[in-house]
Structure 1
Amino acid sequence: MSDALLELKNVWVEYGDKVVLERVNLAIAPGSFVSVVGPSGAGKSTFLRLILGQEAPTKGSILLDGAPMRAECGPDRGVVFQRYSVFPHLTVLGNVLFGLECAGAPVLGRLFGARRRAAVADAEAMLDAVGLSHARDQYPAQLSGGMQQRLALAQALVKHPRVLLLDEPFGALDPGIRVDMHELVTRLWREHGLTVVMVTHDIAEAFKLGTRVLAFDKRRHDPHAPHRYGATATYDVPLLRKISASS
């Protein structure tokens, strides 16, 4: 049995007659931090959506812990996008609490009594972990861009996912704030024993944060039918950075 947490076996993604990804064969170890780079249109975000479960491969298979992964989002995978995926009408605490309430009370979307108190305690602990305890009663519009990304991280991590997916999470941030976010993500990755897959256009960022860098691009090209050839992992560079201790 494989020791990989995630495996992609001969994965293809096609939209009509357009091939986006082809022949993707990868195994991702638990606790690793995989940076994904490549030119625009190389299928990086599609690769992320496959792991998230937002879409299924046209051909091939994706395994999680050796079992076929369903094409649906699950609590074992959290995601943070470049644009702040927070609810503007909820407070900071309400944003983090929302996912816990939906998971604990899927019909009503609201917890009561001891279950709510426990959920609030979990949400407050996560806000403390990302440095937002002081802003628990504020609304997203009152937060800076870096604080909104911290909130998005808290949202993703409060349900204790095994895999954290990051889609250009720092692209809209100022350089100084990006450095702070790098330190925060590295700390959360290690403390929570996460497996992280991060798409970025910043090569320096990819090598700084990752234990492994994947470069996606097209190996084949036909100028008469460019849409018939998809991208795949053309380079796979392991780095010496220590892998996070798996939870």
Structure 2
Amino acid sequence: MSGITIKNLWKEYGEQIVLQNVDLEIAPRAFIALVGPSGCGKTTFLRMILGQETPTRGTIEIDGAPLPPEPGPDRGVVYQRYSVFPHMTVLGNVMAGPEMKASRLIGRTFGARHRAIAEEARAMLAEVGLAGSEDKYPAQLSGGMQQRLALAQALMMKPKVLLLDEPFGALDPGIRGDIHKLMKRLWHEVPMTVVMVTHDLREAFTLATRIIAFERTRDRPEERLRYGATITKDILIWPPRTAGEATIWDRDFQPGRDDPTIPGPIAGTTWREDESDAETYATLR
């Protein structure tokens, strides 16, 4: 299980209110996309789920238990800038978390335990398409490969919740499409809930099961200090997407073929643009 419950969440920095009165129930294995204008508190919200920030008021629970006060292995995170260790090899990066967890004193394992972690790490690298790159260093990888490495590093800890902070924003469109395919597959195969911050609405509609929009409802200059952002839209993607149950939406993405906002033929079927989806997309855009 990996459900998240947020109740009456507020975040303030001194007199500045960033988020106010946020209530949200996230089902286990959902894929949530957080969208909204820059500076509306999306990343702050993500950091509170991670445990890097403490709510000023309100509660966050995972599977009915209060969120631990510090980040833990139950929550993995991937940032826009590649959060990998530059001095370690690709294999070493993916092994680092499990080794530190198994041996907190020296951060290394030996013998059979070390071999087991190495074998699991190699299998994870193969899952994200990095087989054969185990002995390279991050600087020797392309941007897309480094982001695959960051995903492998996070998934190696078997998190209940995977947090993505605009992880694909710096990638070229072609590479981003490949990472989207990988992300869809991993979400289907790995039992986890995903919460992703993105400014790309197409990305949100392509990957998510549900889109949550944050916005300041009172944003005049004299109001910005004392009124924070809150949830203004909560949109379930249609047709529904369920982890472990691939649908036509999970095929390799091609504009005009799999994009629900652009009609096009696929497997003998013609997409019919849904008016409500088109209206929602236009409203968010």
Q: Under TM normalisation by the shorter chain, which class is it?
A: over 0.9
Pairing of 1:95-106 with structure 2 (within 5 A): 95-106=93-104
Report deviation, 1:112. 0.6
**What residue in structure 2 maps to residue 151 of structure 1?**
149
State the AA in 2 paired with 1:14. E
* 2:243 alignment partner in structure 1: 244
Query: Which of the pair has more CA radius of gyration?
Result: 2
Alignment equivalent of 2:120, drawn from 119, 122, 137: 122
Mapping of residues 218-233 of structure 1, within 5 Å: 218-233=216-231
**Alignment correspondent of 2:21:** 23
Structure 1 CA distance for aligned equivalents of residues 24 and 90 of structure 2: 37
Deviates further, 197-206 or 237-246: 237-246
Matches within 5 A, 1:29-178: 29-178=27-176
Q: SS at 1:184's partner residue?
A: helix
- The percent identity for this pair of structures is 60
Using CA pairs below 8 Å that are at least 6 residues apart, which structure has the higher relative contact order?
Answer: 1
8 Å contact kept, 1:216–1:233: yes
Letter in 2 for 1:244: A
What is the TM-score when the length of structure 2 is the normalising length?
0.83
Please say if residues 4 and 30 of structure 1, whose CA atoms lie closer than 8 Å, have aligned partners that are also in contact: yes
Contact 2:2–2:161 (CA under 8 A) maintained in structure 1: no
**Residues in 1 aligned to 2:170 and 2:219: alpha-carbon distance in whole angstroms:** 32
> Secondary structure, in 3 states, of the residue corresponding to 2:168?
coil
Q: Indicate conservation of the 8 Å contact 1:50/1:71, yes or no.
A: no
Unmatched segments (≥5 aa) in structure 1: none
Query: In the alignment, what sits opposite 1:195?
Result: 193
Could you say what secondary structure the match of 2:17 adopts? strand
Q: Offset of 1:245 from its aligned partner?
A: 4.2
Separation (CA, whole Å) in 1 of partners of 2:69 and 2:228:
21
Q: What is the SS of the residue equivalent to 1:60?
A: strand
| Conserved 8 A contact 1:34-1:196 | yes
Q: RMSD value over aligned CA atoms?
A: 1.4
Assess if the C-alpha contact under 8 Å between 1:6 and 1:27 holds in 2: yes
For residues 142-187 of structure 1, give each alpha carbon's deviation from its aligned partner in whole angstroms, at most 9, with x where no partner exists.
0000000000000000011111100001011000000000000110
Q: Helix, strand or coil for the counterpart of 2:129?
A: coil
1:184-225 Cα offsets, whole Å, 9 max, x none, are 011001101221000000011001100000110112245324
**2:58 alignment partner, SS class:** strand
Deviations 1:115-168 (A, max 9, x none): 101110111111010010110000001000000000000000001111110000
Q: Partner of 1:188: helix, strand, or coil? A: helix
Number of matched pairs: 244
CA contact (8 A) 1:45 1:167 kept: yes
Greater shift after overlay, 124-133 or 216-225?
Answer: 216-225
TM-score by length of structure 1 reads 0.96
> 1:227 Cα shift?
1.2
Secondary structure at the aligned position of 1:22 is classed as strand
Aligned to 2:267: none
CA change 1:66–1:224 in 2 (3 A) is same
* Contact in 1 for aligned 2:210/2:236 (Cα 8 Å): yes
